[in-house]
Structure 1
Amino acid sequence: MNPSHPVVRRGSTLAANLGLSERVFASSADRAMARAIDDGLERVETGLVDEVRFADKVADVAGRYLLEAGGKRVRPMLTLLTAQLGDGVVDDVVTAAMAIEITHLGSLYHDDVMDESERRRGVPSAQTVWGNSVAILTGDLLFARASQLMAKLGERAIRMQADTFERLVLGQLNETVGPDPDEDPIAHYIQVLADKTGSLIAAAAQSGIVFSNADPALEAPIIEFGEKIGVAFQLIDDVIDLSPQPQETGKVPGTDLRAGVVTLPLLRLEELAKTDVASADLLERIRRDVLPRPAADDGDPLDTNTLAARIVPSRATVDGLVAELREHEATRATLAEAHGWAREAVAALAPVPEGSVKKALTRFADTIVERSS
């Protein structure tokens, strides 16, 4: 198969989606910053199309697949935004923004293989189209291309890329292995989010500071902002996974839950189930009818329990349980926690000078948690 999709041009549409429009920013300085980000995003988008081309035919088609499927380019936008605290959208900033986005794209190919996801960005996932091996190798190629871009920016950039990539892998590894028996599963999960999602968003924000020659004193608070907003971003995704509107999410409601992917609503439900009978009942039904079960050994006698385990629940049953979890206190608690991380992210911006950039970063944090509404 050789599926392709038209490249989506962004610019002002993306800026407006994330609150960076003239409707929100009224002053001339705000509007000038929004235009600079729009122009920078055009450069990044054009550059991404060029950078994910490969001489090999299969690599070229597979490498462009998720880029052309869409995406809001949140990470490069954040790089361009924090760069406004320095020299603005200079060439090195654009290069770093492209490298960050390509790193993100590569991680999506790997994540979908490990999570056995069937769809991504509204289209069949790469491994659904080409198989696991091609999807994994495509992700590896994209990581290599991102590293090549960062190498153009010098030793500091190479170290930043290596450190971020290490955290991405460790986050995925710890998610796969799970918490130790004596470890708090929720604390373990939050650390996984900080590594898998927060580290790359933090690197995006940091890159804007470093490669625009902004005040080095701003680097630490901007990194903290990026990591905390990254955790908030993923917690909101946990809520969105249960959304009843697949036309907006591009996924079947409860995709992660059905695949057995750990999310905070499920962890919170497990916590509440220890003391609440209704929560315990819902958890038991989700474990029985929604979460994947180990395959039965065909050599075992077909006793009553084995036969019951092989009964596949109806789609209506599974959809109903996803809806119950969506309306449960566990999901409301997850949403509240996401808002808490967003507030902490904004608080980290205290050392950042007042002005258009700080206003935009604050609006960006608001927009992250508003995605669930």
Structure 2
Amino acid sequence: MPPYGTGLRGRYEASGGHREVGYRCRVSKKSSTRSARATAPEGEAAVNPRSPCPCGSGRRYKACHGSADAAELIVVRPYEGLAGETELIALREFVPSATVPLELKDAGEDSPTVTLATVLPGAAAALTRADGSILLGLQVQTHSGDLARDLGAALEWALQAGPSQVLPVTGRATAGPRFGDLVVDAPFDVTVYEDFSWWLEEEPEQGGEVALSLERANAAIMPTARVAEQPGAYWVDAGEKAHLRWVRPEDETPLMAALARLSAAGELDLGEGSRYVGSFRAHGRLVPVWDLDRDAHASEWDTPALAFAGRLEKALAVEAPLTDDERRARDGILTRQFTLR
């Protein structure tokens, strides 16, 4: 596995989950149309197939939620427009154990507390505790093409469920509120943990099944820490090497140009003991990755990361066309990319 991969497989196995592998069958246009009409969400059955889809995607209804495989349609940026977009991507793709408190829109005095989590026991979509509080999981067993709608469906379930309930997976919903429709949009206050002890409401029985499951899950965690309190920036000790993975909020074209300018100027690394190794795309955002000196403590990269952020900000502000050297640097950077769904 590349050093800048997700590293999720071990955590899924440790938590009792699995990675979903899907396939798509060919269907005729007639059968596709009949299926779409049969499964159209309530209130959408009368939508003209050539009209814009009510979901707001900009596609025609017949090519979006009116299609036979609407649940499989991929929303490239499921968290677009949210203040916590980069953190949501990081927590879903490569942070092993972390939580974020959420505030419900239209919350009343009796509203439960809601916490967003990287992964829950069994890679569940949601669970409620004995006191009625809610935990939502980002790293789940199965998902549709719209991760924000999945989170919305899981939260709606939890708000209706009684105490001590578990939602293993969400349905393949093509309608309903999305995550941003239900929670207050605000920057995330992330807490990163060394283990999964926060899963438990009480101390497990020594040697019992719960204790053994927790032990297996803890063994799969790679040490992780936030860097310089920068959204989406995380140091991780992957064993042989340490890395910095930084989900960037900028659109890819200007970001690539800025990275190319820094590369041509010899300013793309984070100083001694670091090396820029590439980037990957995740949910519509670019994630640059650096190899780091594993002997250095995570906090030692705070100052270099902040210095890089300053250099990047200046490079992003440059409007002049790329020079020949910068174009060559950009081409080299582009060869070291891949995309995560």
Which category describes the TM-score, using the shorter chain as reference length?
under 0.3
More strand by share: 2
TM-score (norm 1): 0.24
More helix by share: 1
